[in-house]
Amino acid sequence: MEILWSSLQSTAGSILLPLILAAIAALYFIWKRTDSSAGGFFNHSTSTLAMYSKDLTQMAAEGKLDPVIGREEEIERVIQVLSRRTKNNPVLVGKAGIGKTAIAEGLAQAIINKKVPSDLLHKRVLSLDLASLVAGTKYRGEFEQRLKRIMDEIIAAKRNIILFIDEIHSLAEAGGAEGAVDADDILKPALARGDLQVIGATTAKEYKEFIQKDVTLDRRLHPILIDEPTKNETVDILRGIKRKYEQFHQVHITDEAILAAVHLAAEHIKDKSFPDKAIDLMDEAAAKVSIEEVDHESAKDWPQVGVAEIQSVMQEWESDKIN
């Protein structure tokens, strides 16, 4: 019996040990790829870039990003500009709320799904949190020092990072302490050398006011005009993302509710753009239903968000308007 047990242990060991070693090797490879694809510098406890950015490619890999609906042409255009030899830094130009950030997220998803050219396959799309980067920098040069550290880390990444900068025009205003170096002056040398590749987002007004006037910066960037989605396109967008909102709020959103959200947003909200204003309406209606009816054991018991709930939130918004 003891001989049999020893034999079994030996056999199990000979089978399990290689499997365990293979699993450890695979985990190490995944960790190294996550780390080295950001240039090998990503010590999250000390990295300035990690502190002031979020990794859209990692979020895409983990399924944390919403589906990007109806922006295939724009994403393809971004990929095309990124693949140029020169002036390969696209800037998404359009009204606030039309989904410029979603296009950057769509690029991250395309990279994860291997639907990009080979030159982009190992890139990581990092979204810079400009507001946090600026926050608390009241003394001369503080903001610039943070930005320089970020530039150093990106350069160390050996061109494996694409930096998404929402409201990129703000860099011309950021810092601003007397005697400090302009933030965009820190970026220009890295852009010129090709050490830094960015995707910017801004409005047409700010592009003309802050970027076009700076000839050196403008020649490194390429604007891509982004149109506001139509009502029908917005309906498709809401249909595409509703599952994420249903899971978050634990509700069922009817198709009639989606149609009502788009219609009422178009009729009553003139100072915002599609798809944001319709998404906001759907989101708050789902939140309203969710907090009124809680503790559902299974998805089939989730409450329903219909036209009445959309109308109710719209009425609340109307009463909240500031004259």
pLDDT tens digit at each of 323 positions of the chain: 555 455 545 555 555 555 555 555 444 444 444 444 444 445 555 799 999 999 999 999 999 999 999 999 999 999 999 999 999 999 999 999 999 999 999 999 999 999 999 999 999 999 999 999 988 887 868 888 999 999 999 999 999 999 999 999 988 766 555 544 578 889 999 999 999 999 999 999 999 999 999 999 999 999 999 999 999 999 999 999 999 999 999 999 999 999 999 999 999 999 999 999 999 999 999 999 999 987 777 888 999 999 999 999 999 999 998 86
Q: How much is the pLDDT for 146?
A: 94
* Any domain includes 113: yes
Alpha-carbon dihedral 131, 136, 139, 143, rounded to 10 degrees:
-30
Tell me, what's the pLDDT at 29?
A: 41
Is 4 a member of any domain?
no
Are 218 and 251 contained in the same domain?
Answer: no
Nearest in space to 195 (alpha carbons), one of 53, 39, 34, 49: 39
Q: How many CB atoms lie within 10 A of CB 255?
A: 12
Does residue 262 share a domain with residue 216?
no
Q: What is the pLDDT of residue 141?
A: 84
Residue 99 domain-assigned? yes
Both 186 and 239 in a single domain?
Answer: no
Q: Would you say 164 and 201 are in contact if contact means Cβ atoms under 8 Å apart?
A: yes
Nearest in space to 127 (alpha carbons), one of 165, 89, 172:
165
For residues 58 and 186, state if they share a domain.
yes
Nearest to 307 by CA among 268, 253, 267, 265: 253
Assess whether 310 and 251 both reside in one domain.
yes
pLDDT at 297: 72
- Global pTM reads 0.85
State the Cα torsion 224-54-110-27 to the nearest 10°.
Answer: 160
Q: Are 180 and 294 members of one domain? A: no
One-letter amino acid for residue 114 of the chain: K
Tell whether 138 and 277 lie within a shared domain: no
Distance CA 205, CA 189 (A): 25
pLDDT of residue 45: 54
Q: Are 219 and 248 members of one domain?
A: no
Both 313 and 289 in one domain: the answer is yes
- CB-side neighbour CA atoms (13 Å) of 110: 24
Q: What is the pLDDT of residue 298?
A: 84
Would you say residue 52 lies in a domain? Answer: yes
Position 33 scores a pLDDT of 45
Question: Of 179, 197, 225, which residue is a domain's last?
Answer: 225
Run of H or E residues at 150: helix 142-156
Q: What are 201's strand-pairing partners?
A: 92, 166
* DSSP H or E stretch at residue 292: helix 276-292
- Report the C-alpha gap between 212 and 219 in whole angstroms: 9
> Is 323 contained in some domain?
no
Q: Do 205 and 136 fall into the same domain?
A: yes
Report residue 209: phi and psi, to 5°. Answer: -75, -40
CATH number at residue 221: 3.40.50.300
Same domain as 52, residue 180: yes
CATH assignment at residue 305: 1.10.8.60
Sheet holding 90-93, edge to edge: 53-55, 124-128, 161-166, 197-202, 90-93, 222-225
Q: Which helix or strand (DSSP H or E) is residue 103 part of?
A: helix 100-112
Last residue in a domain, options 157, 190, 225: 225
Q: How far apart (Å, rounded) are the C-alpha atoms in residues 75 and 167?
A: 18
- Based on the domain organization, do 239 and 287 belong to the same domain? yes
On whether the CB atoms of residues 195 and 154 are closer than 8 A, the answer is: yes
Say what the pLDDT of residue 28 is.
44
Could you tell me if residue 251 is inside a domain?
Answer: yes
Instruction: Give the structural domain span for 184.
Output: 48-225
In a domain, 182, yes or no: yes
Is residue 36 situated within a structural domain?
no
- Residue whose token pair is 């509700």: 251
- Report the pLDDT value the prediction gives residue 2, as an integer from 0 to 100: 55
The span from the first CA to the last CA of the chain, in angstroms, equals 89
Q: Which of 225, 253, 273 is the last residue of a domain?
A: 225
Look at residue 321 in the predicted model and tell me its pLDDT.
85
Per the structure, the count of domains in the chain is: 2
3-state helix, strand, coil in the chain (%, to 5): 60, 10, 30
CB 10: neighbour CB atoms within 10 A?
Answer: 10
User: What is the pLDDT, as a whole number, of residue 27?
Assistant: 47
According to the 3-state scheme, what is the secondary structure of 217-244? HHCCCEEEECCCCCHHHHHHHHHHHHHH
* d(C-alpha 1, C-alpha 314), whole Å: 77
- What's the burial of 228, exposed, middle or buried (CB within 10 Å: 0-12/13-18/19+)? middle
Tokens read off for 307: 């036209």
